[in-house]
Amino acid sequence: MTTSASVPAGPEGAIVGTVTDRLIDANERYAAAFTDPGMDARPVLRVAVVACMDARLDLHAALGLELGDCHTIRNAGGVVTDDVIRSLTISQRALGTRSIVLIHHTGCGLESLTEEFRHDLEMEVGQRPAWAVEAFRDVDQDIRQSMQRVRTSPFLLHTDDVRGFVFDVKTGLLREIDPA
């Protein structure tokens, strides 16, 4: 299967350059046709989306979003960490967002990890990471926990429109999770 990240092949199938070289080449083509859309950093729909970094999630396509519609915050698992709260706080207080959509997905890699990952990493590199893995076994429960973390944060002004979903990577459908 060929993806957009495939590296171009030269004579006799040899790989030419790195993936990063390919991305820079693509940017040059993009910039050649680029025109300033005349937007500022405030999302038009006043929404921030927090989601997993999984490459199978095309959030703009899945949610019908266009450039400038939302702030997108992504990390491993889409979990609400201190840094996500930081980004959401800036999004709300400085850039006007009012709604928060949290999206986890089926088949997440964090479901197969444990906090033992940190221990293994410490043994390998000689230093324990300051961050938690935030692994989980139940995606629905983790979305509930993420919603609770957002709703109880003292830094966020707008916590009345916080909704959580699980994206099915096989069907593309979102399933809403009841926060209770």
pLDDT digits (tens, 9 = 90+) for 133-173: 999 999 999 999 999 999 999 999 999 999 999 999 999 99
Predicted TM-score (pTM) of this structure = 0.88
Per-residue pLDDT reduced to its tens digit, 97-116? 999 999 999 999 999 999 89
The pLDDT of residue 9 is above 70: no
- The H-assigned helical ranges of the chain are 19-33, 59-63, 82-93, 116-125, 139-151
Burial of 152 (0-12, 13-18, 19+ CB in 10 A): exposed
Sign of the CA dihedral running 60, 62, 64, 69: negative
pLDDT at res. 116: 93
* Residues 26, 27, 31, 34, Cα dihedral to 10°: 80
Q: What is the pLDDT of residue 11?
A: 64
pLDDT digits (tens, 9 = 90+) for 20-34: 999 999 999 999 999
Task: Work out the average pLDDT over 83-96.
Answer: 98
Quick one: pLDDT at residue 1? 45
Contact criterion met (CB below 8 Å) for 75 and 133:
no
